[in-house]
Amino acid sequence: MTAPPPDDCLARNDWICGDYLSTRRQILLDAVGQHIQLTVISVVLGLVIAVPLALLARRRRWTVGPVLGITTVLYTIPSLAMFSLLLPVYGLSATLVVVGLALYSLTLLVRNILAGLDGVPAEAKEAARGMGYGPMRQLLTIELPLAVPAAMAGLRIATVSAVALTTVGAIVGYGGLGNLIYAGMNSFFKAQVLTASVLCVIIAVVFDLLLLGAERLLTPWRRAGRRTRGRTRAGAGAKRLVTAGRRT
Amino acid sequence: MNTLSAVWTWLTTAANWSGENGVWNRLEQHLVLTFSCLVISALIALPVALTLGHLGRGGALAVNLANIGRAVPTFAVLVLLLLTPIGRYGQWPTIIALVLFAIPPLLTNAYVGMREVDQSVVRAARGMGMTGTQLVWRVEVPLAFPLVLTGIRIAAVQLVATATLAALVGGGGLGRIITAGFNLASTPQVVAGAVLVAVFALLMEGAFELAQRCAPGWARGRIR
C-alpha cells in the first residue's frame, strides 16, 4: 500500500486530485456536455410549452386555476418518482430525463410569465390601443417585452434547478455529471464525486450569469429607470423567492 | 396497458406491503426521517430568522442561502457526505443533507415575514411601551405567522422529496422501493413505488393546504 504503487493522489484517493483532472479529461468533458445538453433542451422544451399555456391562461381566465393547479401538482412530485413514472412511456432514455425536467420547469415559467403579463401597466396597454395597435401587435410589442423581467426571473430559477436536478437522471443512466457522482459513490472515488459536484455548481452559476446578461440586453429601458424603480423590483423578487420552493 | 395492470398487481399484493422491504416499513422510515429533520431544521432556522428579522439584518444572507441552495444538487451533497467520515454513522449523512436543504426556505420565509410586518404597527407597539421581546412575540410573530407557515410547508414537501433521494445512497424510505425496482429491472415495481411516493408527497402538500384553510384567521393572514 505504501511503496510499490505510485504514491500519487489517485492512489491515495484524495478529494482534490490534479491527476484525476488530466487523466479523465475526456470523461469529464463528455459528462459536462451531456449535462448542459439535457438542461438546455429541457428548459427550452419547458419554455415552448409554458408560453402558450400562460397566454391561454391570460386570454381565457377560467383556465388559470386548472393550469396553475396541474403544474403545481407536477412540481410536488419528487424527482426520483417523476423519472420513474415516465419510465413505461420513454424507457431508459435521455428523453425521459428531458421530459421530467421540462415538467418541473413549467410551474416556475408559467407562474412568472403570468405575473409579468399581469404586471404590465394599464396605461401602456391603453396607449397602445390609442395608437391603433391590434391585439396581436400589442401582445408582441408591448405586453411580452414588459413581461420579460418577471419571466426571466422564473427562467433563471428553472434553469439553475434543472442543472441540479439533472444529476438524479443518473438512475436511468442519463444524468450527465450525476453519472460520475453515482459511479464515484459505488467505487468510493472521492476525487470524481467532488469534481463532478463542483462542476455542477459551476455550470449552474454560469447559466445564471448568462441569463442575467441576456435579461439586461433584452430590457435596455430598465437601465435608464433603474435608480428610481430598482427598489420596488428588488422587493418583488424577494417575494417571488418566498413562494417558490426548491425541487429535489 | 400491460404495465398498468402489472403495477396494479404489485400494489395489491399483500407480500409487497409487509416485512422489512415492505411498503409500511418504508413509509414509516420516510415519515420518521421527514419529521425529525423538519423539527431539527426548524429549531435551527426559526430562532435565527426571527432574531435577524426583528433586528432587520441579514436579508442578503437569507436570499443568498436560498439561491445557493438551488444550485447545489442534493444528490451530490448526499454522496459527498456519505464518503466523508460522517458516512460511517448510519443515517447521519442523510439527516445532515436533509436539514441543510430544509433550512433555506424556513429561514427566507420567516425572515421576509418578519420584515414585511407593517412598520406603523411596530411603531405603535413601541409607542405603547412594549419591550423588544414583547414586540417580537405579541406583534411581529403573529403577523409574520402566515409566511412562516408557508416556509414550513415548503420545507416539509421538500423533505419528502429529498428523503426519496436518500434511497439512491442506500438510505431508507419509500425511494428504496423504486431503487430496488431498478436493481431488479422490474418496471412494475419502479412505477408502483413512484406512484406511492407521488401520492405521499401530494398528501403532505394537501394536508398543509387543509391545515392552512382550517386554521384561525390570524394564521392565514386575514387580519392585517
Grid coordinates in use for A215?
435579461
Angle made by CA atoms A175, A179, A180, in degrees to the nearest 5: 140
Chain A: give the shortest CA distance to residue B129, in Å.
30
**Contact at CB, A87 and B191, closer than 8 angstroms:** yes
Residue A206 lies in a domain: yes
- Using pLDDT thresholds of 50, 70 and 90, give the confidence band for residue A240: very low
Which residues 34-63 in chain B show a CB within 8 A of chain A?
59, 63
pLDDT of residue B110: 92
Grid coordinates in use for B114?
418578519
CA separation for the pair A24, A29 (Å, rounded): 9
**Contact at CB, B178 and A193, closer than 8 angstroms:** no
pLDDT of residue B102: 92
Chain A: give the shortest CA distance to residue B173, in Å.
12
- Of residues B57 and A209, which shows the higher confidence score? A209
Please name the member of A84, A197, A243 whose beta carbon is closest to the beta carbon of B73.
Answer: A197
Residue A230 lies in a domain: no
Over 90: is that where the pLDDT of B46 sits? yes
Residue A239 lies in a domain: no
The tens digit of pLDDT for each residue in A49-68 reads: 999 999 999 888 899 999 99
How would you label A84-94 residue by residue, b for 16+ Cβ within 10 Å and e otherwise? bbbbbebeeeb
The tens digit of pLDDT for each residue in B208-224 reads: 889 888 877 666 665 44
pLDDT of residue B222: 53
Question: pLDDT above 90 covers what percent of chain B?
Answer: 39
pLDDT of residue A243: 52
Please name the member of B79, B82, B164 whose beta carbon is closest to the beta carbon of A78.
Answer: B164
Which residues of chain A neighbour B181 with C-beta distances below 8 Å?
Answer: 84
Q: Who contacts A142 (Cβ-Cβ below 8 Å, separation ≥6)?
A: A120, A124, A125, A128, A133
Residue A86, CA distances (Å) to A177, B73, B163, B202 in order: 21, 21, 20, 17
Range of A137's domain? 18-221
Which residues of chain A neighbour B75 with C-beta distances below 8 Å?
Answer: 167-168, 170, 178, 181
Over 70: is that where the pLDDT of A234 sits? no
Over 60: is that where the pLDDT of A34 sits? yes
Over 50: is that where the pLDDT of A231 sits? no
DSSP string, A189-214: -HHHHHHHHHHHHHHHHHHHHHHHHH
The tens digit of pLDDT for each residue in A76-114 reads: 999 999 999 999 899 899 999 999 999 999 989 999 999
Grid coordinates in use for A238?
424577494
**Contact at CB, A197 and B151, closer than 8 angstroms:** no
**Contact at CB, B104 and A246, closer than 8 angstroms:** yes
Chain A: give the shortest CA distance to residue B108, in Å.
7
Q: Who contacts B12 (Cβ-Cβ below 8 Å, separation ≥6)?
A: none
**Contact at CB, A77 and B147, closer than 8 angstroms:** no
**Contact at CB, B105 and A168, closer than 8 angstroms:** no
The tens digit of pLDDT for each residue in B73-130 reads: 999 999 999 888 877 777 888 999 999 999 999 999 999 899 988 889 989 999 998 8
Tell me the CATH number at A172.
1.10.3720.10
Report the SS3 class of residue A225.
coil
CA separation for the pair A203, A163 (Å, rounded): 7
User: Is some CB atom of chain B closer than 8 A to the CB atom of A201?
Assistant: yes
**Contact at CB, A88 and B191, closer than 8 angstroms:** yes
Please name the member of A157, A161, A181 whose beta carbon is closest to the beta carbon of B75.
Answer: A181
Class level of CATH domain B3-219: mainly alpha
CA separation for the pair B163, B94 (Å, rounded): 8
What is the domain count for chain A?
Answer: 1
Which residues of chain B neighbour A168 with C-beta distances below 8 Å?
Answer: 73, 75, 165, 168
Residue A244 lies in a domain: no
Give me the helices (H) in B59-215, please.
Answer: 59-71, 74-83, 92-115, 119-127, 132-134, 141-165, 175-183, 187-214
Which residues 173-212 in chain B show a CB within 8 A of chain A?
175, 178-179, 181-182, 187, 190-191, 193-195, 197-198, 201-202, 205
**Contact at CB, B69 and A246, closer than 8 angstroms:** yes
Question: pLDDT above 70 covers what percent of chain A?
Answer: 88
User: Is some CB atom of chain B closer than 8 A to the CB atom of A209?
Assistant: no
pTM of the model: 0.86
